[in-house]
Amino acid sequence: MNLLTIGGLLMAWGALMTAVILDGASLSSFMKLAPAILVFGGTIGASAIGFSMDQLKSLPAKTKRAFITPKFDYHGVIEKLVGFATKSRRDGVLALEDSIETIEDDFMKKGLQMLVDGVDMDRLRETLEQDIASLKLWYKEGEEFWKQMGGFSPTLGIIGTVLGLIQMLSELEDAESMGPAIASAFIATMYGVSAANLLYLPLCNKIKTVCNADLLEKKIILQGLICMQAGISPRMTEQTLLSFLYPESKTTGEGKAREREK
């Protein structure tokens, strides 16, 4: 469970509710059915037009990644790859076949199987890079949906406000009723802007962040397999894979390959 996502959303909406209460307003006065139907229903409908049914069916799985994020242990992956490199250098590539069934990550398992099967480097790189591109597209579709929701939502809010003002002006008989009518009309804008900035766009950004983390892990695995196929030493393989990480993360685990080689 990604507590940052849940905590961030709760803090954002809590701040909005707190501001309303501190201003002395009642939360019930902001609950209007007609603006909610227009803004939320219209936003979903407008966003859905640009996607296929299959893409929409997979949206829950993509959105789930924002709340339940896989644990990306880069150093653990690097350590495992260096261990494979050590075994391959000592006993040969075919010795890795016994390790394939113990691997939980499908991407690593596929790459290691190709390595054991003797697939040439260009074909291995091309195949796994295509898998990475497909994964990136999978995330991108979820990211794009919530981005479009964040774009349409404020616009639908403005449309709702305009409709409310038109309705008010068409039935204007009492000047004293103008204030409450105008305030009611702007509720649609509040719905649209709040939902976009406190829900849709944050989810878009979170999916993008998870995507980058997932792709980084896959790129580390791909590079590790290439190093093994090229016969690069475990020590150099470790240094190469650590170069994918932030500078402050590179020192963790350094020297493990040297210990294995002794």
- 26-60 pLDDT, tens digit each: 777 788 898 999 999 999 999 999 999 999 999 99
Distance CA 222, CA 217 (A): 9
Q: Quick count: other Cβ atoms within 10 Å of Cβ 47? A: 21
Q: pTM of the prediction?
A: 0.86
- Tokens describing residue 83: 């261990």
The range of the structural domain enclosing residue 247 comes to 32-74+122-261
What is the reported pLDDT for 262? 47
Residue 236 lies in a domain: yes
Contacts 24+ apart (CB under 8 A), 86-91: 86/234, 86/257, 86/260, 86/261, 88/228, 89/231, 89/233, 89/234
What is the reported pLDDT for 261? 46
What is the reported pLDDT for 220? 96
What is the reported pLDDT for 219? 96
b/e per residue 52-69 (b: at least 16 CB within 10 A): eeebeeeeeebbebbeeb
What is the reported pLDDT for 189? 94
Residue 11 lies in a domain: no
Distance CA 10, CA 145 (A): 22
- Tokens describing residue 225: 């397999």
CB 147 within 8 A of CB 197: no
What is the reported pLDDT for 177? 64
What is the reported pLDDT for 209? 95
What is the reported pLDDT for 252? 52
Residue 96 lies in a domain: no
Residue 164 lies in a domain: yes
Residue 42 lies in a domain: yes
Residue 115 lies in a domain: no
Q: Residue 33: in which H helix or E strand, if any?
A: helix 33-36
Domains in the chain: how many in total? Answer: 1
- Tokens describing residue 241: 């894979």
Q: Residue 106: in which H helix or E strand, if any?
A: helix 106-116
What is the reported pLDDT for 20? 85
Distance CA 35, CA 153 (A): 12
Residue 157 lies in a domain: yes
Q: Collect the ranges in the chain with pLDDT lower than 70.
A: 172-177, 179, 248-262
What is the reported pLDDT for 47? 96
DSSP string, 153-208: HHHHHHHHHHHHHHHHHHT---GGGHHHHHHHHTHHHHHHHHHIIIIIHHHHHHHH
Residue 232 lies in a domain: yes
CA of residue 129 relative to chain centroid, distance: 19
